[in-house]
Every structure is written in structure tokens, then in C-alpha cells.
Structure 1
Amino acid sequence: MKERWLPVGLIAGGLFLVNVVARLVVRFAAGNDDDKQVTIGLWALFAVGAVMIPVAFWYGRRHPMLRLVADLGIAVVSACVLAVLVGPFVSGATPFGDGVGLVFRQFFYFVGLSAIGAVLGVLALMTLGWDYRSQSWKRYIDRAGTKPRRIVRR
């Protein structure tokens, strides 16, 4: 159980940490300047997507695609829920202070850019032929290409 959910929790924690750092930068560096706040928020979302590229690359080498999608999906959604519901308290606001529409936009932006980053990481992995399925096909071809065992007649 620990071997499966510990990496998922660490990934979710890392994504949430990126969001918390961005919110602290917004709180202390941007002040009340809306343009700076939006710019920092966009860079934070791109950073979340950029973090997902090597994570998906690393995770895809070790696990089948169905497990990769499930585990990374759970990590991203849990990090997103934390970022949307707990993150505003870091920056001195409340989650639903600006309305429910903003909460849904944050959720969809976070999940969307994380998914784009994960897809780019998996595509790079497949292009190199290092994904789980390509490696298992390679092992099968190597094993099937050997000579069969010679049958001895008596």
C-alpha cells in the first residue's frame, strides 16, 4: 500500500507546494497590482504543467499506462482541491471570496495544464521507446527470437 500511494502523495504535495510558493510571491511581491498577480498566477500554472512533464516521464517508465493515468490523476485532482480550497488562506483570502466561478476556473486551469504537462511527458517517453509497454514488447521480442529448446529423442 505504501509503495503505491506514497509517490502519489509526494506528487500531490509537490504540486501544492508550487501553488503555495506562487501565492506567497503574489502576496508579498505583487501587492494590489492586478496585472502582476495575474502574471505570477499564470507562471505558477505553467510551472505546475512543467513539473508534470518529468513526473509523467519518470512514472511512465515504471508503470503501465492505466496505472499512470489513475495515479497521476488522483495526485493532480487532490493537489488541485488543496490549491483551490486551502491555497487562498495562504494568500490572505477565502476560497469562495471572489465567487464560485473563480473556483471552477482555477480547478479547470490547474487540471488542464497538469494534464497537458503529463501528456507531453508521456509522449516524450513513448517517442524514446522507454515506456512500460515498449519495454515489455522488447523483452518479448528478445525472448521469442531465441532458438527454441531442442527436443531430444530416445
Structure 2
Amino acid sequence: MRERWRAVGVLAAALFVVNVVARLVIKFGFPDNDTANSRVSLAMFLVIGLILAVLAFRWGTDRPVGRLAGDLAAAVGVALALTLFVGPLLVGDSPFAGGAGTFFAQIWFYLAATAAGVLVGYLGLTALGRDYRSRQLERFAELKAAKPRKVVRR
């Protein structure tokens, strides 16, 4: 159980670090350039989606869908809370400095990027037939095919 939550915590920390790096690049590299800020933010969301796609692909092979969804949702929830409330403080802003529209836009963009990443990773895994359920059904079919027929005497 400890390893499970450690992996979730490491994933949440990694997602938060990606956001902090993007915020620092924007603050020190492009403080007044809105176009560059948008591109760095887009790159951040792509990296977050890619991380989750890879982990959904990797974790989906040995975890049932319910456990996989719970682990990823917990990590994304913690990372989102850190991104919204702690991330701006690290670069000297207030979490609500951009107004309510910017605050809620961050939430929706973050959730869209994470959902897209998980969806791409898990659908790719399922399409290849390597997900937990497909492997379970394959083992069941092999087990049933390997049993000899029972002789019935009358």
C-alpha cells in the first residue's frame, strides 16, 4: 500500500514541478511577451499530458481500471491544487491575481490536458490488447483451453 501512494505522490510532485518550471521560464524568460507566455503554457500542458499518457500506458498493464483511475485522479487532484494555490506564490504572484476567469481557465485547461493524456495512453494500451483486462481474459482462455475433458461414465 505504501508503494502505491508513494507512486501517486511522486507523480503529483512531477506534475507540479513541470508547472513550476513553466512559471519560472515565463517569469524570467518572457515577462512581458504574451505570445511566448501562451506558448510556454501550451508546452507545459503538452508535457503534462505526455507524462500522464506514458504512465497510463505503463500502469494500465498491471492495474485494473478502477485502481488506475483512482491513482491518476488522486495525483492529478493534488497536483492541480498545488498548481493553483502554491505555484503562483513561488513566483511572487497571488493565486487570484489574474481574476476569476484566469483561475477557472487554469482548472479547465489542466483537467483537459490530463484527461487527454490519460485517454490517449489508456486507449493506446487497450488497442494493443495489453491492458489488465485483456491480459486477464487471455490467461482465462489459455487456462480453459489447457484443461483436458472430464470423462463421464454412465
Displacement of 1:92: 2.1
The 2-side partners of 1:104 and 1:152 are apart by 68
Pairing 1:34-53 to 2, within 5 Å after superposition: 34-53=34-53
Pairing 1:1-154 to 2, within 5 Å after superposition: 1-148=1-148
Q: What are the ranges of 5 or more consecutive residues in structure 2 without an aligned counterpart?
A: none
The 1-side partners of 2:37 and 2:150 are apart by 72
**CA RMSD for the aligned pairs?**
1.6
The 2-side partners of 1:118 and 1:54 are apart by 8
Q: Secondary structure at the match of 1:80?
A: helix
Displacement of 1:44: 0.8
Displacement of 1:150: 5.3
Alignment TM-score, normalising by the size of structure 2: 0.93
Q: Which amino acid in structure 2 is aligned with residue 87 of structure 1?
A: G
Q: What are the ranges of 5 or more consecutive residues in structure 1 without an aligned counterpart?
A: none
Q: Percent identity?
A: 39
Post-superposition CA distance 1:47-74 (Å, at most 9, x none): 1111111011011111000111111011
Contact 1:64 1:132 in 2 (8 A): yes
Runs of 4+ in 1 over 2 A off after TM superposition: 147-153
Contact 1:12 1:79 in 2 (8 A): yes
